[in-house]
């Protein structure tokens, strides 16, 4: 399988880091991302809609105090995170730079089966992007209209793979079907490729890698969003065009990350839900479609972190206390709440106030008890002295 290299090799960037001006620029980016310390760094550098949010929230809950944890999809997202639209630093440069600073680096990507990933990507912005309306309105749309739009763009979404196309590393000829994940160390950087189909085993895999207990949580699932009814309706009614399924059979990434039996099972499942051929948008028509969408979009598609993540990643005392409570609930199989700094800050302050009140009350009771004992002791002494005087008389 041909490997597409995105950038030049590590040594090329090392020479750039030795340039003072370049070093200062990338150091500033590093600082903005909170990476200006000596903690090891976990980069979850993956395409969207492959399960990366669950991975990030799990890492934050169990590893946030020992590791810096960065979730990134592309350079545009990096510009937003650093609030700098003129930032031309690539994610690989950032990874290499931190290795250049002698930090331990872990980089994670995830593979998701192709049809499911396409559906999930489509629904991520189905209202505000594909129909230019709110999710509340699109939720009431005729599902056949939504299916048609999805089939129009089916061939043009969710086709990339970062491990092959972005990481700029040497990939083994075969996936590791014994451990069900890939591990490659190159230039002193540890690269891992997980499969979403193995998510039930991620806890075991990651606990072994980091030598500490990690429990994987479900986070940011489409089935729990505003559009959940439309999403459910779509999945119940969608049938894949036969010509599309033939293309999926020959998908190079499916044939790399799935073994023969897994591929047969996957294709057979979709064979039960297929329909006649469909002619979707050509490459040229899809580019026109994208341009029109971008011009027409009038709704902000950037979500606040408290919506996107179960754990925002704050390491204040309030959030850490909430994290400890969350871990305890996870171990007991109980439902958990989002860890939102603005809320945990208030909870922590209330706990501190309540604890201080308890201390004051306890202290007051202790003082009263001591006074009471002292009075009783004093009274006993008076009674004893009076009795003695009586006996002497």
**What pLDDT, in 10s, does the model give residues 377-391?**
665 555 555 555 544
CA atoms within 13 A on the CB side of 149: 21
Beta bridge partners of 191: 107, 184
Whether the predicted pLDDT of 307 surpasses 90? no
**Domain count for the chain:** 1
Segments of the chain assigned E as strands:
41-45, 68-72, 105-111, 182-186, 189-195, 240-241, 274-275
CA dist 258 and 261 (Å) reads 8
- The answer to whether position 59 is within a domain reads yes
Identify the band that residue 46 occupies on the pLDDT scale cut at 50, 70 and 90: very high
Give 360's pLDDT tier (boundaries 50, 70, 90). low
Classify residue 222: in a domain, yes or no.
yes
Question: Domain containing 251: what range?
Answer: 10-302
Contact 19, 97 (CB under 8 A): no
Is there a domain that residue 322 lies in? no
Q: Is residue 381 part of a domain?
A: no
Query: Which whole number is the average pLDDT over 150-156?
Result: 97
Mean pLDDT rounded to a whole number for the chain: 87
Q: What tens digit of pLDDT does each residue of 176-215 get? A: 999 999 999 999 999 999 999 999 999 999 999 999 999 9
Dist. CA 101–CA 174, nearest whole Å: 32
- Least trusted range by pLDDT, from 19-23, 235-239, 318-322, 346-350: 346-350
Q: Quick check: is 295 in a domain?
A: yes
At 119 the pLDDT is: 97
Residue 317 lies in a domain: no
Q: What are phi and psi of 160, to 5 degrees?
A: -90, 165
Assess contact for 52 and 162: CB atoms under 8 A.
Answer: no
- 78 membership: H or E segment, kind and range: helix 75-81
Query: Is 166 inside a domain boundary?
Result: yes
Q: Mind giving me the DSSP string for 273-304?
A: TEES------HHHHHHHHHHHHHH--S--PPP
Q: Could you tell me if 57 and 309 are in contact, meaning their C-beta atoms sit under 8 angstroms apart?
A: yes
Give the pLDDT score at 100: 96
Task: Judge contact between 55 and 49, C-beta under 8 A.
Answer: no
Please tell me the predicted confidence (pLDDT) of residue 1: 38
Contact 348, 321 (CB under 8 A): yes
């Amino acid at each position: 399988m041909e490997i597409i290299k995105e950038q030049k090799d590590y040594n090329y960037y090392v020479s750039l880091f030795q340039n003072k001006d370049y070093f200062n620029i990338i150091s500033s980016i590093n600082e903005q991302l909170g990476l200006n310390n000596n903690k090891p760094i976990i980069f979850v550098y993956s395409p969207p809609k492959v399960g990366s949010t669950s991975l990030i929230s799990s890492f934050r809950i169990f590893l946030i105090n020992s590791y810096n944890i960065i979730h990134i999809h592309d350079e545009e997202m990096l510009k937003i995170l650093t609030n700098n639209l003129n930032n031309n630093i690539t994610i690989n440069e950032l990874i290499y730079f931190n290795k250049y600073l002698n930090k331990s680096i872990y980089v994670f990507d995830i593979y998701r089966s192709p049809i499911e990933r396409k559906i999930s990507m489509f629904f991520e912005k189905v209202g505000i992007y594909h129909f230019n309306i709110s999710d509340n309105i699109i939720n009431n749309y005729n599902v056949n209209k939504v299916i048609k739009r999805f089939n129009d763009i089916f061939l043009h979404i969710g086709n990339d793979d970062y491990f092959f196309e972005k990481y700029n590393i040497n990939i083994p000829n075969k996936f590791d079907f014994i451990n069900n994940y890939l591990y490659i160390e190159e230039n002193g950087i540890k690269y891992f490729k997980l499969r979403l189909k193995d998510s039930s085993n991620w806890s075991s895999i990651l606990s072994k890698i980091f030598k500490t207990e990690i429990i994987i949580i479900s986070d940011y699932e489409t089935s729990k969003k505003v559009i959940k009814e439309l999403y459910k309706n779509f999945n119940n009614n969608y049938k894949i065009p036969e010509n599309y399924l033939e293309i999926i059979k020959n998908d190079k990434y499916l044939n790399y990350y799935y073994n023969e039996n897994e591929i047969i099972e996957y294709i057979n499942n979709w064979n039960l839900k297929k329909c006649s051929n469909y002619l979707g948008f050509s490459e040229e028509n899809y580019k026109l479609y994208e341009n029109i969408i971008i011009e027409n979009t009038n709704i902000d598609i950037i979500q606040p972190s408290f919506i996107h993540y179960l754990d925002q990643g704050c390491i204040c005392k309030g959030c850490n206390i909430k994290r400890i409570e969350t871990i305890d609930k996870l171990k007991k199989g109980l439902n958990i709440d989002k860890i939102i700094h603005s809320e945990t800050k208030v909870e922590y302050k209330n706990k501190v106030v309540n604890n201080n009140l308890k201390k004051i009350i306890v202290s007051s009771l202790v003082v009263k008890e001591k006074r009471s004992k002292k009075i009783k002791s004093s009274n006993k002494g008076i009674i004893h002295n009076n009795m003695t005087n009586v006996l002497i008389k």
